[in-house]
Structure 1
Amino acid sequence: MSVIGQRIKELRKGKGFTQKDLAEDIITRSYLSQIEKGSFQPSYDTLEKFALKLECSVEDFFQEPRNKALITSQTKQKIVLAESKIENGKFLDAQRTISEITDIEDLSNYDRGLYYWIIGKIAENKEIWEIAEENFEISIDIMNVTQSHKEKVRAMDSLGYTKIKLEKHAEAFKLLNDAYEFSIQQKVGGAIKTSLLINLGFAHLNMKEYHSAIRILREAQVINQETHVYVKTGQINLLLALCYKEINELEKAEKSNKMALSFFESVEDSESKASVYNNLANLYMKFSNYQKSIEVYLMAISIFERIKHSKGVLLSKTGLAQAFYLNGQYGESEKTCFEVISQPLEEQYRGYTYLILGDVEMIRTNHQKALENYTKGFDIFESNDIWWGEEVAIKRMSKVHYELEDFQQAANLLLNSTKQNDKEDILPIFI
């Protein structure tokens, strides 16, 4: 078959024309058949007429023919390669591979579902959560019409984690529970089941169902050990530590944190190591060991600063400011608060440090300055729709008015606070 003949056939099929459709009023169908087979070369006049009917240019007939079967096969290979790179944490390589794909229309539902999951994972790695959410949802919709149960559970797991990051806790909770039930029905296990259980435990933790979270995370721990895939060990222990902290089991919380710390040290994961130090510092602060808390916060900050993790620095400095305050080191607390406030990002931390500054002024009986700081904190929380912050700020402001014997204003503020009770009551875990 000649290049021109093959291109005419490709363009004809692309328009959905039969040979008879294209040949009509131009040449005979049999003559067109011979042209497409390469037995004859059409005249330029004939090509112009074909181009008019096919809505293309004459030059299009001289382009290299496309082998759709080969292109589809190559596309599938790229998707499988990108999936492998994602599973091995090589997100930049996966992005390079997937960016080479320009057309997925001829792919099977399985391959298209996998393609959108990969796009979602790349967005997740960049913390572009809205894009990740959109692509995971598309992936799940496509996988619903396949028998690819393992891949569907994996996509649901990824979407659940994304919704947690978007603070859509109720949605994440339901989705991950549904994924768990589906995984049991379809006997999906291994690393995917472990990841699902971890995120489900995280969802229960965010919904303050701490005992349920512990049960689920322990199940993840068992599967992790049975499959000899230990990469999730640190994450499981880190979440268990948070749960134990919330139910006031200090020794178990400290043990789980130290187990997580040991794991992250062994794999040289500095960011996770700093996060564990932050959690340990929170734990020591909760149980009134403020000096120890300060020491560990400083260790977390040192690592976060070394790896240039600005959000981690702000998180730990906010906790440090609180620990200084509780330890009676008001000047150090004030200094640390201003370091956080000077940063333009992460409004929840800036808002909370204004509350700490207000607390410092209350200790100094500077009620007007305390009120000013509480109000600044409230304004930040209100403008950023951070409900837990508004609640805390209102209670602080009411306390100031009470101290000033402005009882009516104190009551009005508390009344306003109760109007927010229909909102999702999720306090941040970072403090």
Structure 2
Amino acid sequence: MKRAFTGGRHMLGERIKELRNQANLTQHELAEGIISRTYLSLIEKNSVHPSTNVLKKLSERLNCTLEDFTRETKDNNVSLLELKKEIKWAEGQVNLSNFDKLEDFIEKEYELNEKINEYERGIIYWVYASYAHFKNDDEKTCEYLHMAIELVKNARNVNVYLKCLTLLGQITFDKGEKVEGIDILSKALHITIYENIVSLVKINILWTIAEMYRKIGENHVTVHFCHEALELNKKLQSHHRALELEVTLSKAYLSLKMYEKAENHYKNAIKIASIYYTKFEHIAYINNLGMLYSEQGKYKEAYQLYLKCIEMLAEDDYVHPYKFYIYMHYAKACNDMGYYEEALHVIDKYAKDDETGYSNEILGDIYYNKNEKERAIEQFLIAVEGREPNYYHAMIYPKIAKVYQELGEYEKAFEFYEKSIVKIKAFTSEVI
């Protein structure tokens, strides 16, 4: 179903202003000898309705007919005012991440309308770029971003330019060009300082660059940018990127082994998710706190949180790829608590189609704890063939080496310790 336009009555004043701009006339130039500039301003604001005689004189100066004053813009039969509303609406949908609502807008190709200015055309291309990014089409995203940047980079209002730089930097970083991506975000951040920008746009830039630094291991820098964003939120009395900021901070503090601070931010994330997000997202952040407790060796606390997640999942039939990991974390917690049969039951029920290797790693841990070392090695070897990244494989190799060492097979133990080192080096080079 097509989305209905808001409003529909053509506004005469808007059309006169549109035609004046097309003729490159100022209000003074159009009004001179006909009416006062103030009266023309009121006409363009639709505050007063001019007489037919005045309209006739204005049409002669604008080299148009009286009918042109009541004619709507040709594209999709939309008046200029309605067109501006449409562009503003689309910009708002991107800000709200409501990308599914944009298809009708995109089909109308408003960027071809000669009546809009360059800045508005730049907004449209930014909307297209954001939609393409949502569809995981990096080539089209970059193409539209560069078109948008050319149109808005010299505009007095820098907000759309900053949004373009933020998305471009993010894509560049994700393609593996990490230094270049950070440079683009740094440029955007410098513009906010130079232009004294204090807005949600700056908060988004701060969070994005914070995430970049976290991913290359610069966690202290991440903490700095996140706290700057939180302070700006407080100043603006907003909650923009609140959940993302809390999660990024919790991960950064976890990497820094600052467990108490990590725990506080995980709890903040849970609280925010419980109020503003879906139930599944709420469950996911409870799960994350459980992972923190597991990391600290607080197995009982972790088990209780994972059990809570499982109980909440049972209340609704969720279909989400992360659901598998929640069940596997619960199985791991059961293993940590010595509840081996429950762990095996969960894996048997929820990991039949697992291609990641994660369930096999947990099975290896269970069999090792049950002193079934040959079966443990068998599962660990399957795990490293899974599609989890190099970092996780590097964590499994020492487990294999340890079992071989305990079995007295020292050459194989050495082989897998060496493989672990190679994987860690590969992962480190990928990150840096």
Kindly indicate whether the alpha-carbon contact (under 8 Å) linking 2:199 and 2:236 is maintained by their aligned counterparts in 1: yes
Partner of 1:405: 408
1:273 maps onto 2:270 in alignment: no
Kindly indicate whether the alpha-carbon contact (under 8 Å) linking 1:207 and 1:426 is maintained by their aligned counterparts in 2: no
Partner of 1:158: 167
Kindly indicate whether the alpha-carbon contact (under 8 Å) linking 1:133 and 1:162 is maintained by their aligned counterparts in 2: no
Residue 67 of structure 1: how far off its partner (Å): 4.1
Please list the CA deviations of residues 224-277 of structure 1 after superposition, one character each: whole Å capped at 9, or x if unmatched.
Answer: 011112243333223222223333333323322223333333335424322321
1:212 to 217, 221, 225: 221
Residue 329 of structure 1: how far off its partner (Å): 1.8
Worse-superposed segment, 109-118 or 158-167: 158-167
The DSSP-based 3-state class of the residue aligned with 1:310 is coil
Residue 135 of structure 1: how far off its partner (Å): 0.8
Partner of 1:138: 144
Cα distance in structure 2, aligned partners of 1:404 and 1:236: 47
- How does the TM-score come out when normalised to structure 1? 0.70
Kindly indicate whether the alpha-carbon contact (under 8 Å) linking 2:166 and 2:185 is maintained by their aligned counterparts in 1: yes
1:376 maps onto 2:382 in alignment: yes
Cα distance in structure 1, aligned partners of 2:334 and 2:172: 34
1:341 to 351, 354, 365: 351
Residue 168 of structure 1: how far off its partner (Å): 7.0
Residue 408 of structure 1: how far off its partner (Å): 1.9
Kindly indicate whether the alpha-carbon contact (under 8 Å) linking 2:293 and 2:299 is maintained by their aligned counterparts in 1: yes
1:293 maps onto 2:302 in alignment: yes
> RMSD in angstroms over aligned alpha carbons?
3.5
1:81 to 86, 89, 94: 89
Partner of 1:239: 248
Number of residues of Structure 1 aligned to a counterpart in Structure 2:
354
Kindly indicate whether the alpha-carbon contact (under 8 Å) linking 2:207 and 2:229 is maintained by their aligned counterparts in 1: yes
- How does the TM-score come out when normalised to structure 2? 0.70
1:388 maps onto 2:397 in alignment: no
Cα distance in structure 2, aligned partners of 1:134 and 1:105: 21
Kindly indicate whether the alpha-carbon contact (under 8 Å) linking 2:162 and 2:201 is maintained by their aligned counterparts in 1: yes
Residue 193 of structure 1: how far off its partner (Å): 0.6
Provide structure 1 residue ranges, at least 5 long, that are not aligned to the other structure: 1-65
1:147 to 147, 150, 154: 154
Residue 356 of structure 1: how far off its partner (Å): 1.4
1:324 maps onto 2:334 in alignment: yes
Worse-superposed segment, 158-167 or 361-370: 158-167
Partner of 2:104: 96
Residue 139 of structure 1: how far off its partner (Å): 0.9
Distance 1:244 1:133, change over 3 A: farther
The DSSP-based 3-state class of the residue aligned with 1:226 is helix
Kindly indicate whether the alpha-carbon contact (under 8 Å) linking 1:163 and 1:171 is maintained by their aligned counterparts in 2: yes
Kindly indicate whether the alpha-carbon contact (under 8 Å) linking 2:394 and 2:424 is maintained by their aligned counterparts in 1: no
Cα distance in structure 2, aligned partners of 1:338 and 1:177: 48
Cα distance in structure 2, aligned partners of 1:352 and 1:226: 43
1:227 maps onto 2:236 in alignment: yes
Kindly indicate whether the alpha-carbon contact (under 8 Å) linking 1:116 and 1:135 is maintained by their aligned counterparts in 2: no
Kindly indicate whether the alpha-carbon contact (under 8 Å) linking 2:273 and 2:282 is maintained by their aligned counterparts in 1: yes
Kindly indicate whether the alpha-carbon contact (under 8 Å) linking 2:223 and 2:252 is maintained by their aligned counterparts in 1: yes
Cα distance in structure 2, aligned partners of 1:157 and 1:246: 25
Residue 172 of structure 1: how far off its partner (Å): 4.7
Cα distance in structure 1, aligned partners of 2:362 and 2:76: 65
Please list the CA deviations of residues 120-147 of structure 1 after superposition, one character each: whole Å capped at 9, or x if unmatched.
Answer: 433555xx43x15741563145415632
The letter of the residue matching 1:94 is: L
Partner of 1:315: 325
Cα distance in structure 1, aligned partners of 2:121 and 2:429: 36
Matches within 5 A, 1:3-82: 67=74, 73=80, 78-82=86-90
Residue 359 of structure 1: how far off its partner (Å): 1.5
Please list the CA deviations of residues 283-329 of structure 1 after superposition, one character each: whole Å capped at 9, or x if unmatched.
Answer: 22222221221221233344456372422312222222222222222
The letter of the residue matching 1:235 is: E
Please list the CA deviations of residues 154-183 of structure 1 after superposition, one character each: whole Å capped at 9, or x if unmatched.
Answer: 123234455677787666544433432343
Please list the CA deviations of residues 198-245 of structure 1 after superposition, one character each: whole Å capped at 9, or x if unmatched.
Answer: 122222222222222111111000100111122433332232222233
Kindly indicate whether the alpha-carbon contact (under 8 Å) linking 2:125 and 2:147 is maintained by their aligned counterparts in 1: no
Worse-superposed segment, 354-363 or 393-402: 393-402
The DSSP-based 3-state class of the residue aligned with 2:357 is helix
Partner of 1:420: 423
Residue 338 of structure 1: how far off its partner (Å): 3.3
The DSSP-based 3-state class of the residue aligned with 1:379 is coil
Distance 1:426 1:353, change over 3 A: farther
1:359 maps onto 2:365 in alignment: yes
Identical positions, percent = 18
Cα distance in structure 2, aligned partners of 1:228 and 1:426: 41
Partner of 1:18: none
